Chains A and B, each alone.
Chain A
Amino acid sequence: MVDPPTAKRLVQVIHDNLPAPVGERRPVHTIGIGVNGRFVASEVARSYCIAEHFDGEPVDVSIRFSNGLGGLEQHDGWSDVRGMAVRFHLKNGTGSDLIATTLGEFFVRNVDDFFKFSDTAKREPFRRRHWLLKILDFLQLKIPQRNPYPGETQAIDAGALRYANQHRFSQLGIFQVGLIGAPASYARASYHAVHTFWVTAPDGVRRPVRFYWQPVAGVRNIKPTPEPCEKYLFDELKKRLKRWPARFMLMMTIGEEGDTLDDCTKPWPGTRLRIAMGTLTLTEIPEGEDQATAGERISFNPCRLAPGIEPSNDPILKARLGAYEVSREMRGGCPFKWRADNA
């Protein structure tokens, strides 16, 4: 947990770096769409975790897919991180949240790093790199800076790169952001919850785990073009779900001794035990006012967890507990029960 002023500052820093105020909207992942779905745990899930939604009974789920960029403009076709926030609705009216993005790791280890990163990676004027310089890059066998999208005059790319060059822990995240591209559909990307959580099994054993979603339809990006389509992801999803429900597998990796438990800049290798925890089926997209509730007013928190799942000591995860509440309050988001008695 961070103290309330720090939580406020975390959110303020994000707001301060926006191209234009977003009003009462999320300062990141501003553009998003709410979807309803159901989750059915696999037959083995309950032997690893006693949380209610892993007991095998189908549970209702609210999902919000989003574009990572903060700002009111929608740039579906830009290379950008996408979010998938999921709430499993539990019987007593509470929920268990799982917030994931298409990035397999984060780029800072703790709150201090986050502030330093925000200082370095400020929005700067972003212009096409001169072709002569690009030739120089090619001669050095380097990657030249990407071209701006139409209308893109500012970006944090240069600052982020500067930060990465000075901090090796951040390099993977920042490098991957550069390559991430745009998905053909929200239902055709993998989403990673990056932090470590502890799950408790029926025999009392606690295991450190990490979760991620894999789309059953497979991962697919669109081909990058200089003038990308600005809006297609919402329509695509609507059309897709009218035809056929879309599914995701929830995978859970179990850490072992020596794995980093509290550093979300370090992904775990693929050689760890991997458990198929269940299948999420996206069923429908609420319309009208219901969409405003499902896509806008809903608010998630990565530390809202069903009994049986606990947060690790990852300082980023702990900081998010307060920061997401601050942000929710600032934008008048719908508070959600933390406990059945709402205390």
Chain B
Amino acid sequence: MPDNEGLMDRFVDRLPETAFFKFVAARILTPLWAWWTPVKPLPGGPHPSFQHGDNVQCMMNLIMPLKDKSPVGRAHAAMAISQHKDAIFAGLNNVGTVHFARFVIVGDNICMFSVYDGDFTNYIRDFIATIGEVFDAVVGLVEGGEKVIPCDKNVEAFIQWVHERDLYQVPDTPTDFLRDQERLNGDKAVAPVNDDLTLLPRKMVLQLRANANVSLGSGYRAYPGYSVAQVRKQLGLGW
């Protein structure tokens, strides 16, 4: 037995695993701390960067709650996508910067996940130009969507709306997550500072309360740094 370990020590070490503590942490401590030390939601999408590698193979993770939360509502969403398959594929080809795009229904959300090159607003704007009609069909089924359709007449608002539904991308390192929080609060210091690293769990908990859905890390890339057109050109597929 490790030296001087008592019954209470052993009990307290296991406390976080107990149902009681989990309940207290989730239902009492978290709301309490959220009220006492409020945390702002962090913005979604890739972290702004001027560097090349960061501006190809960017991720979009859209989670959009359906208005009609029933099998019928979900079927509507499924239909909206499948009916427009031709339009979607033609649009993706002509926008020219999309590696992968997937549509998924999770719970009562319609989700769009894609990997694209370049700036997010350019990507969505070009999309509105090519498949605005599909966006209208899908977004019309989503909570709050009616405010921003038809998208080609509400370009700025639509892009903003999509951006707001794009998940926050939690950085790959815990400290970059802290830097995100600090940046949001206008704090750019490096040293000397007066931080408390042991607060990281609470900061993470409160952030996940403010951003309930997030993307974890910037994702894995098998061939980072290459654009769609570079891959297609190299493979002899035309671009």
Q: Given known contacts A131-B11, A141-B33, A271-B54, is B224 in contact with A164 (CB within 8 Å)?
A: no
Take A168-B193, A256-B51 as given contacts and tell me if A147 and B33 are in contact as well, using a CB distance cutoff of 8 Å.
no
B51-71: CB near A (< 8 Å → 1, else 0) gives 111101100000000000000
In whole angstroms, how far apart are the Cα atoms of A172 and B53 in the complex?
22
Interface residues of A, CB < 8 Å — how many?
44
Whether a CB of chain A sits under 8 angstroms from the CB of B191 is yes
Point out the residues of chain B lying under 8 angstroms from A131, CB to CB: 6, 8-9, 11-12
Give the residue among A140, A148, A150 with the most B Cβ atoms within 10 A: A140
B94 contacts the other chain (Cβ, under 8 Å)?
no
| Chain B residues, Cβ within 8 Å of A176 | 173
The distance in angstroms between the C-alpha atoms of A144 and B9, with both chains bound, is: 12
A339 within 8 A of B: no
Given A150-B3, A271-B221, A273-B224, decide whether A165 and B51 contact each other with a Cβ distance below 8 A: no
**Residue of chain B at shortest CB distance from A274:** B224
Interface segment, one of B85-93, B103-111, B127-135, B197-205: B197-205
**Interface band, chain B:** 35 or more
Q: How far is the CB of A125 from chain B (nearest CB, A)?
A: 13
**A336 is an interface residue with CB less than 8 A from chain B:** no
Given contact pairs A141-B202, A147-B13, A175-B197, A269 touches B218 in the complex (Cβ within 8 A): yes
Nearest CB in chain B: distance from A236 CB, A = 24
Asked if B4 lies at the interface with its beta carbon under 8 angstroms from chain A, I say yes
Q: A134-B12, A166-B192, A269-B53 are in contact. Are A172 and B175 (CB under 8 A)?
A: yes
Whether A5 is near chain B, meaning CB under 8 Å from some CB there, is no
Candidate in B6, B25, B175 with the most chain A CB atoms within 10 angstroms: B175
Contact flag A273-B192 (CB < 8 Å), given A148-B2, A172-B175: no
Q: Do A167 and B205 contact each other (CB < 8 Å), given the known contacts A131-B9, A137-B198, A271-B53?
A: no
Q: Is the CB of A167 within 8 A of B191?
A: yes
Tell me whether A193 is interfacial, beta carbon within 8 Å.
Answer: no
A137 to B21, CA, bound (A): 13
* Contact (Cβ within 8 A) B218 A271: yes
B202 and A140 form a contact (CB under 8 A) = yes
Whether the pair A135, B195 counts as a contact (CB closer than 8 A) is: no
Per-position 1/0 for B145-174, Cβ under 8 A of A: 000000000000000000000000000111
Q: Which residues of B contact A140 (CB under 8 A)?
A: 33, 199, 202
- A284 within 8 A of partner (CB): no
Q: How many whole Å from A179's CB to the nearest CB in chain B? A: 9
A267 proximal to B (CB < 8 A): yes
For A267, list chain B residues within 8 Å (CB): 173
B235 interface residue per 8 A CB criterion? no
A171 touches which of B15, B54, B56, B197 (Cβ 8 Å) = B197
Contact assessment for B15 and A138 in the assembled complex, using a CB-CB cutoff below 8 Å: yes
Q: Are B16 and A138 in contact (CB under 8 A)?
A: yes
Residues of chain B lying within 8 A (CB to CB) of residue A166? 191-195
Q: Which residues of B lie under 8 Å from residue A141 when comparing CB positions?
A: 25, 29-30, 33, 199, 201-202, 205
Residues of chain B with a CB closer than 8 A to A147's CB = 2, 5, 9, 13
- Shortest CB-to-CB span from B24 to chain A, Å, is 9
Partner of A226 from B2, B21, B218 at Cβ < 8 Å: B2
CA distance A161 to B15 in the complex (A): 24
How many A-B pairs have beta carbons closer than 8 Å: the answer is 136
Instruction: Say yes or no: A271 contacts B57, CB within 8 Å.
Output: yes
| Residues in chain A near residue B192, CB distance under 8 A | 166-167
In the complex, the answer to whether A161 meets B218 with C-beta atoms within 8 Å is no
Contact A172–B197 (Cβ < 8 Å): no
Q: How near does chain B come to A153, taking the closest CB pair, in angstroms? A: 9
> A243 on the interface (CB 8 Å rule)?
no
B173 to chain A, nearest CB (A): 5
B173-197 contacts to A, CB under 8 A, are: 173-176, 178-179, 189-197
- Contact, CB under 8 Å: B174 / A175: yes
Q: Collect the chain A residues with CB atoms within 8 Å of residue B191's CB.
A: 166-169
- Residues of B in contact with A (beta carbons under 8 Å apart): 1-6, 8-9, 11-13, 15-16, 21, 25, 29-30, 33, 49-54, 56-57, 172-176, 178-179, 189-202, 205, 218, 220-221, 224-225
Closest 8 pairs between A and B when the two form their complex, measured CB to CB: A141-B202, A271-B53, A131-B12, A273-B225, A167-B191, A172-B175, A131-B8, A142-B198
- Could you write out 30 A-B pairs with CB less than 8 Å apart? A128-B3, A131-B8, A131-B11, A135-B15, A137-B198, A138-B15, A138-B25, A140-B33, A141-B25, A142-B201, A142-B202, A164-B195, A165-B195, A166-B193, A166-B194, A168-B179, A168-B190, A169-B191, A171-B195, A226-B2, A227-B1, A254-B225, A256-B53, A258-B49, A258-B51, A259-B51, A269-B218, A273-B224, A274-B224, A274-B225
Besides the known contacts A128-B5, A272-B225, 12 further A-B residue pairs in the complex with CB atoms under 8 A apart: A131-B6, A131-B11, A134-B12, A134-B15, A141-B199, A141-B202, A142-B199, A143-B198, A150-B2, A168-B193, A171-B195, A256-B51
